[in-house]
Homo-oligomer: A and B are copies of this chain.
Amino acid sequence: MKKERKKAVVLLSGGIDSATTLAIAMEKGFDVYALSFRYGQRHAVELKAAKRTAKKLGVKKHLILDLDLRKIGGSALTDDIAVPKNRNADEMNKKIPATYVPARNTIFLSYALAWAEVLKASDIFIGVNILDYSGYPDCRPEYIAAYQKMAHLATKAGTQDKNKIKIHTPLIRMSKAQIIRKGRDLGVDYGLTHSCYDPGVSGAACGKCDSCLLRLKGFKEAGLMDPVKYSK
């Protein structure tokens, strides 16, 4: 008798980290339910990248939810606040940047938790990372641990078995270069991904925002060519 595969909800933005996380979840043998959000981000082109990646890697289902974070505001990613450009690593890590979206990962994980509960899935994957975390508080391991504890108390599943829900963060201590090498080994096509916070009308990456700079540095350190187009 064929053993039923376990289900996992994977948060998928369309960038390098979430695409690699998705590939890792599949490698671990999960049936993947990918979850993306149209949240008023100025780089909504990343959703096209998420769709391409989900399709290419063969997920069971890809759900894109509409969230109106613009009504809440407070971020360069959703408001008319300038996206910081050409910052070095010191500047990126010194303070939480304008591209921080208030409570974004908390909101994203909460939807993942809801969907996991409906699917009777116990596993959620998120591609957060502390090394290249760009100063976002909701990318740290202590945050994820606290979220997981809360999630057990929040849900039917967790109430019945307190070790039930697991938030997986396979990239949390990997450098961007390590992530890229890992994804390449798993067959991720990074030409399908999108990272830029501030793409031009053509969809080409700016090459200057924190996200582009971290991506370019990662490919350089991995000794690989970045297959996406830059507007320069």
Q: Identify which of residues 120-165 in chain A touch chain B, using a CB-to-CB cut-off of 8 Å.
A: 137-138, 140, 142-143, 146-147, 149-151, 153-156, 158-159
CB distance from A165 to the nearest CB of B (A): 11
Point out which of A96, A104, A147 has the most chain B C-beta atoms below 10 A from its C-beta. Answer: A147
Given contacts A150-B147, A153-B137, contact A114 B96 (CB under 8 A): no
Range of interface residues on chain A? 35 or more
Judge whether A68 is part of the interface by a CB distance below 8 angstroms. Answer: yes
In the assembly, how many copies of this chain are there? 2
Judge whether A118 is part of the interface by a CB distance below 8 angstroms. Answer: yes
In the complex, the chain B residue whose C-beta lies closest to that of A101 is B114
Partner of A103, one of B67, B72, B74, B110: B110
Partner of A114, one of B107, B111, B114, B151: B107
Q: How far is the CA of A102 from the CA of B107 in the complex (A)?
A: 14
Judge whether A89 is part of the interface by a CB distance below 8 angstroms. Answer: no
Q: Is the CB of A149 within 8 A of B151?
A: no
Q: Is the CB of A74 within 8 A of B150?
A: no
Point out which of A66, A74, A153 has the most chain B C-beta atoms below 10 A from its C-beta. Answer: A153
Report B-chain residues with C-beta under 8 Å of the C-beta of A150.
106, 143, 146-147, 149-150
Q: Identify which of residues 154-192 in chain A touch chain B, using a CB-to-CB cut-off of 8 Å.
A: 154-156, 158-159
Q: Is the CB of B137 within 8 A of A117?
A: no
Q: Is the CB of B155 within 8 A of A114?
A: no
Q: Can you report 26 A-B residue pairs in the complex whose CB atoms are below 8 A from each other?
A: A63-B72, A65-B71, A65-B72, A66-B66, A72-B111, A72-B114, A74-B114, A74-B118, A96-B156, A101-B114, A102-B113, A102-B115, A103-B117, A106-B114, A106-B151, A107-B111, A107-B114, A137-B153, A137-B156, A138-B154, A138-B155, A140-B153, A146-B149, A146-B150, A146-B153, A147-B154
Q: Nearest 6 A-B pairs (CB), nearest first?
A: A74-B118, A103-B114, A102-B117, A146-B150, A143-B153, A102-B114
With A72-B114, A73-B118 given, can you name 7 additional A-B contacts, CB distance below 8 Å?
A65-B68, A66-B66, A74-B114, A137-B158, A138-B153, A142-B153, A146-B150
